Amino acid sequence: MKKKRIVVTGMGVVSCFGNDVDEFYKQLLAGKSGVVPIEEFPCADYPTRFAAAIRNFDAGEYLDKKQARRVDPFIRYSVVAGKKALEHGGLLSPEALGRLNKARCGVLIGSGMGGMNVFYDGVETLLTKGFKRLTPFFVPYIITNMGGALLAIDLGFMGPNYSISTACATANYSIHAAARHIAAGDADLMLCGGAEAPITPIGLAGFVACKALSERNDAPEKASRPWDKQRDGFVIGEGAGVLLLESLEHAQARGAPIYAEYLGGGVSCDAHHMTDPRADGMGVRLCIEHALQEAGIAPSEVDYINAHATSTLVGDVCEMRAIRDLFGPHLSKISVNSTKSMIGHCLGAAGGIEAIAVIKAIETGMLHPTINLEDPEDELKDIDFVPLVAKSRPVKIALNNSFGFGGHNSALLFGKYRE
Protein backbone atom coordinates (compact mmCIF):
# COMPACT_ATOMS: atom_id res chain seq x y z
CA MET A 1 0.00 0.00 0.00
CA LYS A 2 1.29 3.43 -0.92
CA LYS A 3 2.25 5.47 2.14
CA LYS A 4 -0.04 8.42 2.80
CA ARG A 5 1.92 11.68 2.79
CA ILE A 6 1.33 14.10 5.65
CA VAL A 7 2.19 17.78 5.54
CA VAL A 8 2.44 20.70 7.97
CA THR A 9 0.10 23.47 6.82
CA GLY A 10 0.01 25.67 9.90
CA MET A 11 1.82 26.46 13.16
CA GLY A 12 0.70 28.15 16.35
CA VAL A 13 2.89 29.14 19.27
CA VAL A 14 2.48 30.70 22.71
CA SER A 15 5.89 31.47 24.18
CA CYS A 16 7.97 33.81 26.28
CA PHE A 17 8.75 35.51 22.94
CA GLY A 18 5.10 36.09 22.13
CA ASN A 19 2.46 34.37 20.04
CA ASP A 20 3.65 35.00 16.50
CA VAL A 21 5.59 32.19 14.83
CA ASP A 22 7.83 34.46 12.76
CA GLU A 23 8.63 36.76 15.69
CA PHE A 24 9.30 33.72 17.88
CA TYR A 25 11.86 32.40 15.41
CA LYS A 26 13.36 35.85 14.89
CA GLN A 27 14.12 36.03 18.62
CA LEU A 28 15.64 32.55 18.54
CA LEU A 29 17.88 33.49 15.63
CA ALA A 30 18.97 36.58 17.55
CA GLY A 31 20.07 34.36 20.45
CA LYS A 32 17.83 36.13 22.93
CA SER A 33 17.14 34.57 26.34
CA GLY A 34 13.56 34.55 27.59
CA VAL A 35 14.59 33.62 31.14
CA VAL A 36 13.64 36.22 33.78
CA PRO A 37 13.34 36.49 37.59
CA ILE A 38 9.99 35.16 38.82
CA GLU A 39 7.56 37.94 39.75
CA GLU A 40 4.36 35.90 39.61
CA PHE A 41 4.55 34.77 43.27
CA PRO A 42 6.88 35.23 46.27
CA CYS A 43 9.86 32.89 46.02
CA ALA A 44 12.67 34.68 47.86
CA ASP A 45 13.41 31.59 49.94
CA TYR A 46 13.53 29.20 46.97
CA PRO A 47 16.98 28.12 45.73
CA THR A 48 15.72 28.78 42.17
CA ARG A 49 13.97 32.10 41.57
CA PHE A 50 13.73 32.42 37.77
CA ALA A 51 11.92 30.91 34.79
CA ALA A 52 11.15 31.48 31.11
CA ALA A 53 7.80 33.00 32.01
CA ILE A 54 5.08 34.32 29.73
CA ARG A 55 4.16 37.87 30.69
CA ASN A 56 1.13 39.99 29.75
CA PHE A 57 -0.58 37.16 27.89
CA ASP A 58 -3.80 38.19 26.16
CA ALA A 59 -6.00 35.57 24.52
CA GLY A 60 -7.54 38.32 22.40
CA GLU A 61 -10.40 37.21 20.18
CA TYR A 62 -9.23 33.60 20.16
CA LEU A 63 -11.07 32.80 23.40
CA ASP A 64 -14.25 34.17 24.99
CA LYS A 65 -13.17 36.77 27.56
CA LYS A 66 -15.24 35.28 30.40
CA GLN A 67 -13.87 31.84 29.65
CA ALA A 68 -10.34 33.20 29.38
CA ARG A 69 -10.56 34.57 32.93
CA ARG A 70 -11.82 31.27 34.34
CA VAL A 71 -9.71 28.59 32.69
CA ASP A 72 -6.24 27.46 33.69
CA PRO A 73 -3.44 29.12 31.70
CA PHE A 74 -2.53 25.81 30.02
CA ILE A 75 -6.04 25.77 28.50
CA ARG A 76 -5.69 29.37 27.32
CA TYR A 77 -2.38 28.50 25.72
CA SER A 78 -3.86 25.41 24.04
CA VAL A 79 -6.80 27.24 22.51
CA VAL A 80 -4.79 30.25 21.34
CA ALA A 81 -1.96 28.17 19.83
CA GLY A 82 -4.47 25.84 18.18
CA LYS A 83 -6.46 28.65 16.61
CA LYS A 84 -3.29 30.42 15.53
CA ALA A 85 -2.18 27.22 13.77
CA LEU A 86 -5.52 27.17 11.94
CA GLU A 87 -5.15 30.86 11.10
CA HIS A 88 -1.61 30.25 9.83
CA GLY A 89 -3.04 27.56 7.58
CA GLY A 90 -5.83 29.79 6.24
CA LEU A 91 -8.63 27.95 8.02
CA LEU A 92 -9.83 30.15 10.89
CA SER A 93 -12.39 32.24 9.02
CA PRO A 94 -16.04 31.10 9.30
CA GLU A 95 -16.10 30.51 5.55
CA ALA A 96 -13.00 28.29 5.58
CA LEU A 97 -14.17 26.35 8.64
CA GLY A 98 -17.56 25.89 7.02
CA ARG A 99 -15.99 24.10 4.07
CA LEU A 100 -14.35 21.46 6.27
CA ASN A 101 -15.83 18.04 7.00
CA LYS A 102 -15.60 18.49 10.77
CA ALA A 103 -16.24 14.82 11.43
CA ARG A 104 -12.79 14.25 9.90
CA CYS A 105 -10.99 17.03 11.80
CA GLY A 106 -9.39 16.17 15.15
CA VAL A 107 -7.47 17.67 18.05
CA LEU A 108 -4.67 16.00 19.99
CA ILE A 109 -3.05 18.51 22.34
CA GLY A 110 -1.52 17.03 25.48
CA SER A 111 -0.11 18.38 28.72
CA GLY A 112 2.36 16.85 31.11
CA MET A 113 0.94 18.47 34.25
CA GLY A 114 -2.44 19.97 33.32
CA GLY A 115 -4.13 22.71 35.32
CA MET A 116 -1.50 23.35 37.98
CA ASN A 117 -2.69 26.90 38.66
CA VAL A 118 -6.33 25.91 39.16
CA PHE A 119 -5.26 22.90 41.24
CA TYR A 120 -3.06 25.01 43.52
CA ASP A 121 -5.73 27.66 43.99
CA GLY A 122 -8.36 24.98 44.63
CA VAL A 123 -6.34 23.26 47.33
CA GLU A 124 -5.75 26.62 49.01
CA THR A 125 -9.50 27.35 48.90
CA LEU A 126 -10.29 23.94 50.37
CA LEU A 127 -7.84 24.40 53.25
CA THR A 128 -8.73 28.00 54.11
CA LYS A 129 -12.41 28.33 53.18
CA GLY A 130 -13.80 24.81 53.03
CA PHE A 131 -15.10 22.52 50.30
CA LYS A 132 -18.30 24.52 49.72
CA ARG A 133 -16.28 27.40 48.29
CA LEU A 134 -14.51 25.26 45.69
CA THR A 135 -15.35 26.24 42.10
CA PRO A 136 -17.51 23.75 40.17
CA PHE A 137 -14.98 24.16 37.35
CA PHE A 138 -12.17 22.71 39.50
CA VAL A 139 -12.08 19.23 37.94
CA PRO A 140 -12.75 20.27 34.31
CA TYR A 141 -10.00 22.89 34.41
CA ILE A 142 -7.27 20.66 35.86
CA ILE A 143 -7.58 17.60 33.63
CA THR A 144 -5.07 17.37 30.81
CA ASN A 145 -7.60 16.75 28.01
CA MET A 146 -9.58 19.96 28.52
CA GLY A 147 -7.41 22.25 26.37
CA GLY A 148 -8.04 20.12 23.30
CA ALA A 149 -11.64 19.50 24.29
CA LEU A 150 -12.54 23.20 24.57
CA LEU A 151 -10.73 23.91 21.32
CA ALA A 152 -12.78 21.23 19.57
CA ILE A 153 -15.99 22.59 21.11
CA ASP A 154 -15.17 26.05 19.79
CA LEU A 155 -14.38 24.74 16.32
CA GLY A 156 -16.92 21.93 16.07
CA PHE A 157 -14.19 19.38 15.29
CA MET A 158 -15.66 15.90 15.87
CA GLY A 159 -12.71 13.71 14.85
CA PRO A 160 -10.15 12.01 17.14
CA ASN A 161 -9.71 14.00 20.35
CA TYR A 162 -7.85 12.95 23.46
CA SER A 163 -4.86 13.87 25.59
CA ILE A 164 -1.52 12.12 25.81
CA SER A 165 0.55 12.78 28.93
CA THR A 166 4.12 11.50 28.78
CA ALA A 167 5.82 14.24 30.79
CA CYS A 168 8.32 16.22 28.71
CA ALA A 169 7.77 14.01 25.65
CA THR A 170 4.03 14.80 25.54
CA ALA A 171 3.88 17.09 22.50
CA ASN A 172 6.03 14.80 20.35
CA TYR A 173 3.90 11.81 21.30
CA SER A 174 0.79 13.82 20.42
CA ILE A 175 2.12 14.81 16.99
CA HIS A 176 3.19 11.21 16.33
CA ALA A 177 -0.25 9.87 17.29
CA ALA A 178 -2.07 12.55 15.29
CA ALA A 179 -0.06 11.72 12.17
CA ARG A 180 -0.98 8.06 12.59
CA HIS A 181 -4.67 8.95 12.68
CA ILE A 182 -4.27 10.71 9.33
CA ALA A 183 -2.20 7.84 7.91
CA ALA A 184 -4.85 5.34 9.03
CA GLY A 185 -7.61 7.34 7.35
CA ASP A 186 -9.31 8.36 10.61
CA ALA A 187 -8.95 12.08 9.87
CA ASP A 188 -8.00 14.49 7.10
CA LEU A 189 -6.72 17.18 9.44
CA MET A 190 -5.34 17.23 13.00
CA LEU A 191 -4.34 20.03 15.37
CA CYS A 192 -1.62 18.51 17.56
CA GLY A 193 1.07 19.41 20.07
CA GLY A 194 1.34 20.29 23.74
CA ALA A 195 0.70 22.99 26.32
CA GLU A 196 2.06 23.64 29.80
CA ALA A 197 1.74 26.28 32.55
CA PRO A 198 3.86 24.99 35.46
CA ILE A 199 5.26 28.23 36.86
CA THR A 200 3.43 28.13 40.18
CA PRO A 201 4.67 27.83 43.78
CA ILE A 202 3.98 24.09 43.82
CA GLY A 203 5.37 23.53 40.31
CA LEU A 204 8.61 25.30 41.13
CA ALA A 205 8.86 23.60 44.53
CA GLY A 206 8.36 20.18 43.02
CA PHE A 207 11.27 20.50 40.63
CA VAL A 208 13.39 22.11 43.35
CA ALA A 209 12.68 19.10 45.56
CA CYS A 210 14.02 16.67 42.96
CA LYS A 211 17.06 18.90 42.43
CA ALA A 212 16.47 19.27 38.70
CA LEU A 213 16.73 23.06 38.36
CA SER A 214 19.59 25.46 37.83
CA GLU A 215 20.30 27.77 40.77
CA ARG A 216 22.12 30.48 38.80
CA ASN A 217 20.05 33.31 40.32
CA ASP A 218 22.78 35.89 39.76
CA ALA A 219 22.51 35.52 35.97
CA PRO A 220 19.21 33.83 34.98
CA GLU A 221 19.76 34.43 31.27
CA LYS A 222 22.94 32.33 31.54
CA ALA A 223 21.30 29.48 33.47
CA SER A 224 20.15 27.27 30.60
CA ARG A 225 23.42 26.03 29.08
CA PRO A 226 23.06 22.65 27.37
CA TRP A 227 26.26 20.60 26.97
CA ASP A 228 28.34 23.23 28.79
CA LYS A 229 30.60 22.05 31.60
CA GLN A 230 29.12 24.68 33.92
CA ARG A 231 25.47 23.60 33.52
CA ASP A 232 23.69 22.91 36.79
CA GLY A 233 20.14 21.97 35.83
CA PHE A 234 17.29 23.06 33.60
CA VAL A 235 15.12 26.20 33.62
CA ILE A 236 11.32 25.92 33.73
CA GLY A 237 9.51 27.36 30.74
CA GLU A 238 5.87 27.45 29.66
CA GLY A 239 3.67 27.88 26.63
CA ALA A 240 2.19 25.86 23.79
CA GLY A 241 3.22 24.63 20.37
CA VAL A 242 0.60 23.30 17.94
CA LEU A 243 0.94 22.00 14.39
CA LEU A 244 -1.76 21.75 11.78
CA LEU A 245 -1.21 18.41 10.02
CA GLU A 246 -3.13 17.36 6.92
CA SER A 247 -3.02 14.57 4.41
CA LEU A 248 -1.33 15.85 1.28
CA GLU A 249 -4.49 15.22 -0.74
CA HIS A 250 -6.60 17.31 1.62
CA ALA A 251 -4.05 20.13 1.69
CA GLN A 252 -3.74 20.22 -2.09
CA ALA A 253 -7.48 20.14 -2.60
CA ARG A 254 -7.93 23.34 -0.62
CA GLY A 255 -4.76 25.04 -1.91
CA ALA A 256 -3.15 25.08 1.53
CA PRO A 257 0.29 26.55 2.25
CA ILE A 258 2.74 23.70 2.90
CA TYR A 259 5.58 24.55 5.29
CA ALA A 260 7.15 21.11 5.62
CA GLU A 261 6.39 17.42 5.35
CA TYR A 262 6.00 15.12 8.34
CA LEU A 263 8.10 12.10 7.42
CA GLY A 264 7.74 9.77 10.41
CA GLY A 265 8.16 9.29 14.11
CA GLY A 266 9.12 6.79 16.75
CA VAL A 267 8.57 6.22 20.47
CA SER A 268 10.19 3.95 23.06
CA CYS A 269 10.59 3.48 26.80
CA ASP A 270 13.84 3.32 28.76
CA ALA A 271 12.21 0.91 31.27
CA HIS A 272 14.98 2.00 33.62
CA HIS A 273 14.26 4.77 36.18
CA MET A 274 11.60 7.35 37.06
CA THR A 275 13.73 10.38 36.27
CA ASP A 276 17.22 9.31 35.11
CA PRO A 277 17.88 8.27 31.50
CA ARG A 278 19.61 5.02 30.63
CA ALA A 279 23.34 5.63 30.64
CA ASP A 280 23.79 3.56 27.46
CA GLY A 281 21.18 5.61 25.56
CA MET A 282 19.50 2.49 24.22
CA GLY A 283 15.97 3.90 24.57
CA VAL A 284 16.92 7.10 22.76
CA ARG A 285 18.56 5.18 19.96
CA LEU A 286 15.54 2.89 19.66
CA CYS A 287 13.02 5.69 19.17
CA ILE A 288 15.21 7.41 16.56
CA GLU A 289 15.62 4.11 14.73
CA HIS A 290 11.83 3.67 14.72
CA ALA A 291 11.42 7.18 13.28
CA LEU A 292 13.96 6.57 10.53
CA GLN A 293 12.36 3.24 9.68
CA GLU A 294 8.85 4.70 9.51
CA ALA A 295 10.11 7.54 7.32
CA GLY A 296 12.18 5.25 5.10
CA ILE A 297 15.22 7.44 5.65
CA ALA A 298 18.85 6.49 6.19
CA PRO A 299 20.79 8.16 9.04
CA SER A 300 23.09 9.70 6.42
CA GLU A 301 20.19 11.79 5.06
CA VAL A 302 19.62 13.77 8.27
CA ASP A 303 21.02 17.34 8.22
CA TYR A 304 19.91 18.77 11.54
CA ILE A 305 18.85 17.65 15.02
CA ASN A 306 16.91 19.76 17.49
CA ALA A 307 18.03 17.91 20.61
CA HIS A 308 16.12 17.42 23.85
CA ALA A 309 19.17 18.98 25.57
CA THR A 310 17.67 20.34 28.78
CA SER A 311 20.92 21.44 30.48
CA THR A 312 20.97 18.61 33.03
CA LEU A 313 24.23 16.97 34.03
CA VAL A 314 23.30 13.44 32.98
CA GLY A 315 20.68 13.85 30.25
CA ASP A 316 22.62 16.05 27.83
CA VAL A 317 25.51 13.63 27.49
CA CYS A 318 23.36 10.47 27.38
CA GLU A 319 21.37 11.81 24.45
CA MET A 320 24.48 12.70 22.46
CA ARG A 321 26.08 9.31 23.16
CA ALA A 322 23.04 7.62 21.67
CA ILE A 323 23.10 9.97 18.67
CA ARG A 324 26.81 9.38 18.12
CA ASP A 325 26.29 5.63 18.36
CA LEU A 326 23.51 5.70 15.77
CA PHE A 327 24.79 8.27 13.28
CA GLY A 328 28.48 7.36 13.52
CA PRO A 329 30.85 9.37 11.29
CA HIS A 330 27.89 11.16 9.67
CA LEU A 331 27.42 13.13 12.91
CA SER A 332 30.27 15.37 11.74
CA LYS A 333 27.93 16.56 8.95
CA ILE A 334 24.92 17.21 11.21
CA SER A 335 24.20 20.47 13.04
CA VAL A 336 22.67 20.05 16.50
CA ASN A 337 21.12 22.77 18.67
CA SER A 338 19.00 23.32 21.76
CA THR A 339 16.01 25.65 21.70
CA LYS A 340 15.80 25.23 25.49
CA SER A 341 18.95 27.31 25.89
CA MET A 342 16.71 30.34 25.22
CA ILE A 343 13.13 29.43 26.20
CA GLY A 344 13.84 26.99 28.99
CA HIS A 345 12.21 23.59 29.27
CA CYS A 346 8.52 23.90 28.46
CA LEU A 347 7.86 20.35 29.69
CA GLY A 348 4.79 18.90 27.93
CA ALA A 349 4.84 21.73 25.39
CA ALA A 350 8.54 21.40 24.55
CA GLY A 351 8.25 19.06 21.57
CA GLY A 352 5.56 21.17 19.91
CA ILE A 353 7.40 24.44 20.32
CA GLU A 354 10.65 22.85 19.16
CA ALA A 355 8.91 21.27 16.16
CA ILE A 356 8.02 24.82 15.11
CA ALA A 357 11.70 25.80 15.42
CA VAL A 358 12.60 22.80 13.25
CA ILE A 359 10.06 23.68 10.58
CA LYS A 360 11.20 27.31 10.54
CA ALA A 361 14.78 26.10 10.08
CA ILE A 362 13.65 24.04 7.07
CA GLU A 363 11.71 27.02 5.72
CA THR A 364 14.38 29.70 6.24
CA GLY A 365 17.66 27.78 5.89
CA MET A 366 18.81 29.37 9.16
CA LEU A 367 19.62 27.52 12.38
CA HIS A 368 19.24 29.29 15.70
CA PRO A 369 22.18 29.17 18.11
CA THR A 370 22.65 27.23 21.31
CA ILE A 371 23.36 30.12 23.65
CA ASN A 372 25.52 29.92 26.78
CA LEU A 373 27.56 27.06 25.33
CA GLU A 374 31.02 28.37 26.15
CA ASP A 375 32.90 25.23 27.20
CA PRO A 376 31.41 21.97 25.87
CA GLU A 377 31.99 18.65 27.57
CA ASP A 378 35.28 17.18 26.33
CA GLU A 379 33.67 14.18 24.63
CA LEU A 380 31.35 16.49 22.67
CA LYS A 381 33.80 19.13 21.42
CA ASP A 382 33.77 17.76 17.86
CA ILE A 383 30.00 18.28 17.41
CA ASP A 384 28.51 21.34 15.70
CA PHE A 385 26.13 22.66 18.37
CA VAL A 386 25.70 25.99 16.57
CA PRO A 387 27.25 27.74 19.59
CA LEU A 388 26.32 31.32 20.48
CA VAL A 389 25.53 32.61 16.97
CA ALA A 390 22.96 31.56 14.34
CA LYS A 391 24.22 30.04 11.10
CA SER A 392 23.02 29.58 7.56
CA ARG A 393 22.44 25.92 6.76
CA PRO A 394 20.09 24.40 4.17
CA VAL A 395 18.00 21.72 5.87
CA LYS A 396 16.30 18.96 3.91
CA ILE A 397 15.62 16.51 6.76
CA ALA A 398 15.52 17.33 10.48
CA LEU A 399 15.07 15.29 13.65
CA ASN A 400 13.22 16.57 16.73
CA ASN A 401 13.88 14.71 20.02
CA SER A 402 11.87 14.84 23.25
CA PHE A 403 12.23 12.64 26.33
CA GLY A 404 10.24 12.57 29.56
CA PHE A 405 10.25 11.40 33.17
CA GLY A 406 9.22 7.77 33.24
CA GLY A 407 11.64 6.95 30.45
CA HIS A 408 9.37 8.10 27.60
CA ASN A 409 11.36 8.75 24.42
CA SER A 410 10.14 10.27 21.17
CA ALA A 411 11.65 11.32 17.86
CA LEU A 412 10.00 13.04 14.88
CA LEU A 413 11.34 13.63 11.38
CA PHE A 414 10.36 16.58 9.23
CA GLY A 415 11.55 17.40 5.73
CA LYS A 416 11.37 20.03 3.05
CA TYR A 417 8.23 19.45 1.02
CA ARG A 418 8.82 18.09 -2.47
CA GLU A 419 6.03 17.83 -5.02
308 is an active site residue? yes
d(CA 61, CA 64): 7
Please pick, among 88, 176, 181, 345, the residue that the annotation labels catalytic. Answer: 345
Backbone angles phi, psi at 335, to 5 degrees: -95, 140
Q: Would you give the end-to-end CA distance of the chain in angstroms?
A: 19
DSSP three-state, residue 96? helix
273 is an active site residue? no
What angle (nearest 5°) sits at the alpha carbon of residue 234, between those of residues 228 and 239?
125
**Among 201, 212, 23, which Cα is nearest to 124's?**
201
Q: Do the beta carbons of residue 310 and residue 347 sit within 8 Å? A: no
234 forms beta bridges with 213
Please pick, among 308, 346, 368, 408, the residue that the annotation labels catalytic. Answer: 308
345 is an active site residue? yes
**Which DSSP helix (H) or strand (E) runs through 262?**
strand 260-269
| 313 contacts: CB under 8 Å, gap ≥ 6 | 231, 232, 233
272 forms beta bridges with none
Q: Do the beta carbons of residue 400 and residue 412 sit within 8 Å? A: yes
168 forms beta bridges with none
Please pick, among 16, 43, 168, 192, the residue that the annotation labels catalytic. Answer: 168
d(CA 416, CA 356): 13
Active site residues: 168, 308, 345
